[in-house]
Structure 1
Amino acid sequence: MAGKYQSYTETKESGIPWVLDELPAHWEVLPAYSVLRHEQIKNVDGKETNVLSLSYGNIKIRNVENNSGLLPESFNTYQLVWPGDIILRLTDLQNDKRSLRVGRSSLSGIITSAYLKLKASNRIDDRYLYRLLHFYDTSKVFYGMGGGLRQSLKFEDFRRLPIVVPTLNEQRAIAIFLDHETAKIDALIAKQERLIELLKEKRQAVISHAVTKGLNPDVPMTDSGIEWLGEVPEHWKVSRLKFETEVVDCRNKTPVYFDDGEYFVVRTTNVKNQQLNFTGALFTDETNFKIWTQRGVPPAGSILFTREAPTGEVCIVPEELKFCMGQRMMNFIPRCSEYRDYLFDFLISDCLDRYINAVSHGSTVSHLRVEQVENIPVLVPPVKEIRQIHSLISRLKKKLDAIERNALDSIMLLKERKSSLISAAVTGKIDVRNWQSHQTEDAYA
């Protein structure tokens, strides 16, 4: 980092080692209350209706439609916010210990009591303050101040937060530098994210075409009799899920969970991106396991399916996993082992979404009933074609997954670069007073 930018020649101990060790000799460290104030102005006339919320460091207008019960009858109790205000969320901090949840508003609007609004004094630039607060490690800062990190904090807890204060000219230079440099990094991140979206679209299109039209473009087609499915190869069988698999529903109750339980309870949240994950895993004991598997233990190689929250996630049951299904989970056991691969590809194509849209008549649907799942239309190609289709899709997945992993790695590195750059600038590790934008035009090429 220092190799590309100038360094300050004179430094001193910061006096706040839990934040940083050294800082430029002429910089100050001041308590928060001396450079900013907590401002809480109510929307007493209720005229302002732009509800703002904080999302990943950005303050955005919140869509409040169809959120019955979420908002009060009027907006009179909300706090007014103007451009340049610093907004912090000081609740649920124990779930996000690494950094403060902070944003700088470029909008006028109102915020709920879950947020704290800060107004910068004439001693500190709000753009610099926004960047500095992003750098702070919440747990270290508040423990260093002599208090623990609680579930929520008030301004009284925050007012003595040590604020690193360069000269105003340096603050503005740092803000301009970071705005320019992070914008370039953000643009590169956006390109990688767009690449991932295009990869997913391509994957979906190829899979959907293969599982409904086959691989031979010259094969005779016939009307499937299902509007959303359209024409299919005339030698393929049009069937229903219940005729090609054994469909097993879960018990519509929640088992008792035990911290030392031996049996994993697969819930809908454990099935994501065609994988079984153990994030937030819950376990039960042998007694509950026997009750919850009275309809059978889902065999390895069968398909797990979520029929609610969210609907339509699937994954393959792995080998040697001791588990039972939680609520809103279903299990599909194909009558033919080779058909399992085709059915899985069919379910991850857009066919399931089209079916859900058809049975819900275009309205938003949060779940499928058991009989609706059992009657999902499916196709049955000849075994030889099943193998060819699955082989093609497997190769496609492998290729696109590798490209996606590289894109995700690039995004991670770019985010690390961005974080390091912000940290270096706001703590005086680099001197940007004489920086010019053309100096780093090729830095991220």
Structure 2
Amino acid sequence: MSNFKRYDKYKDSGIEWIGEIPEGWEVIPLKRIFKIINGGTPNSSEESYWNGEIVWITPNDLSELTEIYIRDSERKITEDGINNCSAKIVPKDSIIISTRAPIGYIAIAAVDLCTNQGCKSLVPVSEINSKFFYYFILSINFYLNVLGQGTTFMELSNSNLSMVELLKPPLVEQISIANFLDQKTAEIDDLITDKEKLIELLQEKRQAVITEAVTKGLNPNVKMKDSGIEWIGDIPEGWNAQKIKYLADVVNIKAIDTDNNKTYIGLENIESKTGRLLTNNDEEQQAIGETANVFRKNDVLFGKLRPYLAKCIVASLDGRCTSELLVIRTHSKILPDYLHFLMLSSIFIELVDSSTYGAKMPRTSWNFIGNLKIPLPGVEEQKEIIQRLNELTRKIDDLVSEIQEQIQKLKEYRQTLIFEAVTGKIDVRDYAAVS
């Protein structure tokens, strides 16, 4: 933060993890700045309590927020609903914070609203700038989580929250700091958004490269013929079209006790659209009650649940996996890595996704996948395509990783900038104090 000047005089805050603060600032318990209002939930079986006009905030509403202010909720309640539960209407500009499941989501109320019991509302009891205290509380999220208690889930109690010590600069400085952070965090967020869009474009290019190679080959001048497959169109003249079930088998061998030492792979361990194993997960086990399937090295594992996520890998070792992964063992006419790339192609994923059944948990089936005809070059050409795709996708993946690191550094800088500003480590009073 060497680009920013410091205050002329500092004093000890008495808070170890904050250290020194500007001389004119106060350290005040939260209860002297805000009144804490608990939330509540009307009886879910009483229809007259629900689908009203009163905004009713839950931690989930806060978790999906992409801005400072919150003005709407997934569910709303009626006047009867709020009159028959412990929730209370809090005024606009109150600070809303989730205090369980999890602790620390935060927003400023843009309208009068109420919350469920997973949130608490901080209503100012004197003239303050809500946005400054939004930023301050956001910056001490780690500390609020330390104060949480509980066994089933962590919860921040009223008594612990009320004693959290806040820094209170003069009002004009609160406004200046909030204005400064509005501008700087918006600039950082715009940079992050641009980089995230670039990642999306690179991922789209990755899938386009794969799709082109596994449906048209590597030679742009090769003579083409009609594949007879509606979703594929023309394919190189020397290629064939065959159903997957004639090229590979689905293997459904259930794990037994002696398999428990084998690495377990769940859907969460496979990166979407890249075919990358995120972790070997030696210490993690499958969900209690779930029966795992056994797979062998070089088996293709394809996620049948929500296939639009494109979760597919070639196993690099023997192991166990969730039953939501199809274990596919290839025959001699198709290489595992080739089938893997084909199953990651956008055209294949779109087709398989159109076959799903079940609204909340859409799944595809081996019966559908196995009966799909796919374009098939000879094994030697498959090897060439695999080698070329490995080279191209590795370059794209390296670029994506580099951009992801840049995003992480920007997020860390954003958090540091907020903390430095709200604790007075940098002096931003030159920013116009406009309310």
TM-score of the two chains, using structure 1 as the length reference: 0.80
Aligned to 2:124: 120
Determine which of 370, 374, 379 is the counterpart of 1:378.
Answer: 374
Q: What's the secondary structure of 1:48's corresponding residue?
A: strand
Q: Return closer, same or farther for 1:140/1:83 CA change in 2, 3 Å cut-off.
A: closer
Aligned partner letter, 2:53: E
- The 5-angstrom pairing of residues 379-398 of structure 1 reads 379-398=375-394
Partner of 1:266: 265
1:66-81 aligned within 5 A: 76-77=81-82, 80=89
Alpha-carbon shift at residue 351 of structure 1 (Å):
2.8
Is the contact made by 1:46 and 1:75 (CA closer than 8 Å) also made in structure 2?
A: no
Please give the alpha-carbon distance, in whole angstroms, between the structure 2 residues aligned to 1:231 and 1:109: 59
Moved more, 42-51 or 116-125: 42-51
SS at match of 2:232: coil
Cα separation, 2, equivalents of 1:71 and 1:380: 54
Give the SS at the match of 2:135: helix
1:216 pairs with 2:219: yes
Aligned partner (choices 300, 304, 307) of residue 304 of structure 2 = 307
- Contact 2:95 2:122 (8 Å CA) reproduced: yes
Deviates most, 199-208 or 170-179: 199-208
Indicate whether 1:241 and 2:241 are aligned: no
Change in Cα spacing, 1:155 to 1:39, as seen in structure 2 (3 Å) is same
Tell me the equivalent position of 1:101: 105
Compute the displacement of 1:361 (Å): 9.2
Contact map agreement 1:84 1:105 (CA 8 A) in 2? yes
Q: What SS class does the counterpart of residue 219 from structure 1 fall into?
A: coil
Q: 1:47-76: CA deviations, max 9, x gaps? A: 426555112664657785xxxxx9989993
Residue aligning to 2:45: none
Aligned partner of 1:429 in structure 2 is 425
Does 177-186 or 156-165 show the bigger shift? 156-165
Contact 1:57 1:102 in 2 (8 A): no
Listed as ranges, the matches of 1:43-442 within 5 Å are 47-48=52-53, 52=57, 53-55=61-63, 58=66, 64=74, 76-77=81-82, 80=89, 83-93=92-102, 100-106=104-110, 111-139=115-143, 143=147, 151-251=154-254, 262-273=261-272, 274-276=275-277, 277-278=279-280, 281-283=283-285, 298-308=295-305, 312-319=310-317, 321=318, 323-336=319-332, 339-360=335-356, 366-435=362-431
Q: CA deviation at 1:301?
A: 2.2
| Cα 1:383/1:370, change in 2 over 3 Å | closer
Aligned counterparts of 2:5 and 2:266: Cα–Cα separation in 1: 53
Aligned to 2:21: 23
Unaligned runs of 5+ in 2: 43-48
Q: 1:149 and 1:129, CA in 2 relative to 1: closer, same or farther beyond 3 A?
A: farther
- How far 1:380 sits from its partner (Å)? 1.0
Change (3 A) 1:188 1:107: farther
Deviations 1:249-284 (A, max 9, x none): 354xx87799xx523333333333422324595349
Relative to structure 1, the CA distance from residue 364 to residue 35 in structure 2 (aligned partners, 3 Å threshold; closer, same or farther) is closer
Whether the 8 Å CA contact 2:179–2:432 is kept in 1: the answer is: no
Change in CA separation of 1:337 and 1:176 when aligned onto 2, cut-off 3 Å: farther
In the TM superposition, residue 27 of structure 1 has moved relative to its aligned partner by: 0.8
Partner of 1:239: helix, strand, or coil?
strand
Identity among equivalent positions (%) equals 26
Counterpart residue identity of residue 305, structure 2: E
Contact 1:250 1:328 in 2 (8 A): no
Q: Single out whichever of 107-116 and 408-417 deviates more from structure 2.
A: 107-116
Separation in 2 of the partners of 1:279 and 1:106? 43
Instruction: Please give the per-residue CA displacement for 1:319-377, whole angstroms capped at 9, x wherever unaligned.
Output: 4x5x2233222222222386222211101111332222443499887112232232233
Change (3 A) 1:348 1:34: same
What whole-Å deviation, never above 9, does each CA across 1:408-443 have from its counterpart, x for those lacking one? 111111111111110111001111112479xxxxxx
Please list the CA deviations of residues 174-232 of structure 1 after superposition, one character each: whole Å capped at 9, or x if unmatched: 00011111111111111111110110111111211221122333434344333323332
Give the direction of change, closer, same or farther, for the CA distance of 1:364–1:83 in structure 2 (3 Å limit). same
Relative to 1, partners in 2 of residues 1:282 and 1:41: Cα closer, same or farther, differing over 3 Å? closer
What SS is found at the alignment partner of 2:3?
A: coil
42-51 or 308-317, larger mean C-alpha shift = 42-51
User: Would the aligned equivalents of 1:238 and 1:378 in 2 still touch at CA under 8 Å?
Assistant: yes
Q: Distance in 1 between matches of 2:231 and 2:79?
A: 44
Shift of 1:104: 2.2
- Aligned equivalents of 1:108, 1:348: Cα separation in 2: 48
Change (3 A) 1:63 1:163: closer
Task: Pick the aligned partner of 1:38 from 28, 36, 39.
Answer: 36
- CA change 1:331–1:15 in 2 (3 A) is same
Kindly report the root-mean-square deviation, in angstroms, between the aligned alpha carbons of the 2 structures.
3.6
After superposing the two structures, state which structure 1 stretch, 343-352 or 51-60, moved more: 51-60
The 3 A distance-change label for structure 1 pair 402 and 173 is: same
Indicate if the aligned counterparts of 1:139 and 1:149 stay in contact, CA closer than 8 A.
Answer: no
**What are the ranges of 5 or more consecutive residues in structure 1 without an aligned counterpart?**
65-69, 438-445
Range 274-283 or range 168-177, more displaced: 274-283
Partners of 1:63 and 1:132 lie apart in 2 by 24
- SS of alignment partner, residue 250 of structure 2: strand
Describe the shift of the 1:16–1:358 C-alpha distance in structure 2 as closer, same or farther (beyond 3 A). closer
